A and B are shown apart, each in its own frame.
Chain A
Amino acid sequence: MDLVKSMEVKGEHNHTEAKKYKWKQKLTPIGFISPVLLIFSLFLFFPVLFAFYMSFHQWGMIGTPEFVGFHNYVRLFQDPLFWTSIKNTLIFSLSVPLKVAIALFIAVLLNQKIRGLGFYRAAFFFPVVLSMVVVGLVWQWMFSPSYGFINYLLEKLGLPLQNMLIDSDQAMIVLIIVSIWKGLGSNLLLFLAGLQAIPSSVYEAAEIDGANSWQKFWHITVQLLKPTTLFVLIITLIGSFKIFDLAYVITGGGPGTSTMVLVHYIYQEAFQRFDMGYASAAAYVFFIILFILTLVQMRMFKSDSEF
């Protein structure tokens, strides 16, 4: 802007130059943003609206789509398998507080002057970068009833052997254990960042007042970490609603339908039965659930961000 002014001051003959410059200033951002806007429109804005439109149509891979009103949604709410997948997703999500608590606990341990911090952090963090498929395969093998490491260990310890992957009451526990292992590192990092933001003077003041370690943890760390904890809770919850890869690889939704989760249900209806309209309705229900969770998160952050 200063540049425009100085050009105008310089004299009459520079007037057209300045005008040209002004135009360029206006066109440049439009030229820059257009290709990006095109990509976002094609692969986000349009599909999200189109999925909504599809959810009101009978839409197979062949034949013409037919408007059916709320029929897909009615069918969905009448399908026991849909409710099973919701139930399983919720059961899986019950592990979220446990996941967050473990991450907080280890973050507090790591947030002190200790030897070998780099090693511990790397070890806890490494699973985060691995693919869900590889993680799923390795853990399926770990839990193998006759040849896996878990039973190898249990036998060495003289404990009863497990058969969790083929037990419909226990397969979900395996998924929870694996997802704790896989996701611990990223939550840990978020907590460590939060912990490092707490000024050490607060702890020093508490020490002068005679606070013990537990009091310091409960009254300072936990209280001041509330915003971080809420954030971690909600994103972990959102993440757990999206579970698919792990369940697909480790249990394939089984035994029976005991680990069939919501995304797996959507995938199956869309890409194995090619019932695209119906699957879009299921996907929209899924979207609305996540949307509500995100709104809750934003609400909490508005009221709770200052401490």
Chain B
Amino acid sequence: MSSKSRNLLKRIPLYAFLILGSVGMLVPFVWMILSALKPNNEIFTSPPTFLPKDPNWGNFVEAWGSGDFTQYFINTSIISVLTTVITLFICSLAGYTFAKFNFMGKKVLFLLFLGTMMIPMQVIMIPIFLMMSKIGLLNSYWSVILPLVANAYGVFLMRQFMSTIPTELMEAARIDGCSEFRIFWQIILPLTKPALVTLGILTFLGAWNEFLWPLIMLDSPDMMTLQVALTQFQGQYEVKWNLLMAASALSMIPIALIFIVFQRYLVEGIASSGVKG
């Protein structure tokens, strides 16, 4: 036996454990899809079947149609996209200012911003709910978007990235008579793409998956987000688990796509922050 194959033999337990472990991690996901495909008479057989005997793809269509899922999908998309765009703008503007300018009280302000990372949303949700109800924004997209865009982690991330950009670029643009906002918008911002992508993905995922803010703020059925709608289904369709699993699977399609395309950015973002999750 060569030393190479002996080495491989020694590693069999390692591989067995890793393969079993990662397949085990995927089981709930597989069970969701398999359950979504089971027809009504099969979903409630005890003991359950593993593979659906007669896969019913129509369940996905039926689940989508049994609530106003198109509307929920639109609501969730609007909230997630707007939250992401505004967060990116605000955080990069603040990050740029903190990284490249000096002004009175800068240090104190930066510490105050960082300090907000300690504030759990459960403490501020009650005052913000009352504020929104006072100014009549309750049950609007803005009531969910605005609290989400005040993101100190994003400011910090952008500041770190902006400070690596050479200041000479700004000086050169100033000599050419470029306005300050244009320097930020057309010269600095394009250079921060990697940080913007990381922050953008984390923000989008967070907004798409957000549950407590929309649960509090949105109360009419036509404003509901997917997450809130799914929990409503849970009460309403307690007997139709195949449809609930189908709706759950459909609700996570954008998330799964982002995961597949941007896994590298996600891994970097989470490894560098540890804030989300």
Contacts and interface: CB of A to CB of B under 8 A. Distances in A.
Contacts of A33: 93-94, 97-98, 103, 109
A286 B118 CA distance: 12
B153 interface: no
Interface string A43-71: 11111101100100000000000000000
The residue among B32, B96, B127, B272 with the most chain A CB atoms within 10 A of its own CB is: B127
A307 interface: no
Contacts of A95: none
A210 interface: no
B146 A263 contact: no
Interface string B245-275: 1001001100100110001001100111011
A8 interface: no
Interface string A119-163: 111111111111111110111111010111101100100000000
A19 to B, nearest CB: 15
Interface stretch (A74-82, A86-94, A168-176, A266-274): A266-274
A24 to B, nearest CB: 7
Contacts of A3: 171, 174-175
Contact of B25 (A2, A45, A144, A181): A181
Given A51-B123, A126-B259, A190-B271, A245 B212 contact: yes
A203 to B, nearest CB: 17
A100 interface: no
Given A132-B209, A138-B31, A245-B212, A47 B124 contact: yes
B211 A132 contact: yes
B146 to A, nearest CB: 6
A40 B150 contact: yes
Contact of B29 (A133, A138, A239, A286): A138
Interface in B81-111: 90, 93-94, 96-98, 101-103, 106, 109
Interface in B1-57: 11, 14-15, 17-19, 21-23, 25-29, 31-32, 35, 43-48, 50
Interface string A235-278: 10001001011001100000000000001001100110000100
Contacts of B272: 193
Contact of B23 (A123, A129, A242): A123
B122 interface: yes
Contacts of B127: 46-48, 50-51, 54, 280
Nearest to A2: B171
B174 A131 contact: no
A11 B96 CA distance: 32
A276 B130 contact: yes
Interface residues of A, number: 97
Contact of A134 (B18, B90, B106, B230): B230
Nearest to B102: A29
Contacts of B245: 137-138, 141
Residues of A contacting B: mostly:
helix
A36 B130 CA distance: 22
B193 interface: no
Interface residues of B, number: 91
Contacts of B130: 276
A10 interface: no
Given A32-B96, A232-B274, A286 B25 contact: no
The residue among B97, B120, B171 with the most chain A CB atoms within 10 A of its own CB is: B120
B112 interface: yes
B227 interface: yes
Contact of B180 (A28, A36, A51, A119): A28
A32 B93 contact: yes
Nearest to B121: A242
A29 B101 contact: yes
Contacts of A165: none
B277 A137 contact: no
B231 A133 contact: yes
A73 B69 CA distance: 43
Given A267-B212, A270-B129, A286-B122, 14 more contacts: A3-B175, A32-B93, A36-B155, A37-B109, A42-B150, A43-B147, A48-B123, A48-B124, A128-B276, A189-B270, A248-B231, A249-B234, A267-B122, A283-B122
Interface of A: 2-3, 24-26, 28-33, 35-37, 39-40, 42-48, 50-51, 54, 106, 109-110, 114-116, 119-135, 137-142, 144, 146-149, 151-152, 155, 181-186, 189-190, 192-193, 231-232, 235, 239, 242, 244-245, 248-249, 263, 266-267, 270-271, 276, 279-280, 283-284, 286-287, 290-291, 294
11 contacts: A25-B101, A40-B113, A51-B126, A114-B14, A124-B22, A129-B205, A146-B44, A149-B31, A186-B270, A231-B274, A270-B126
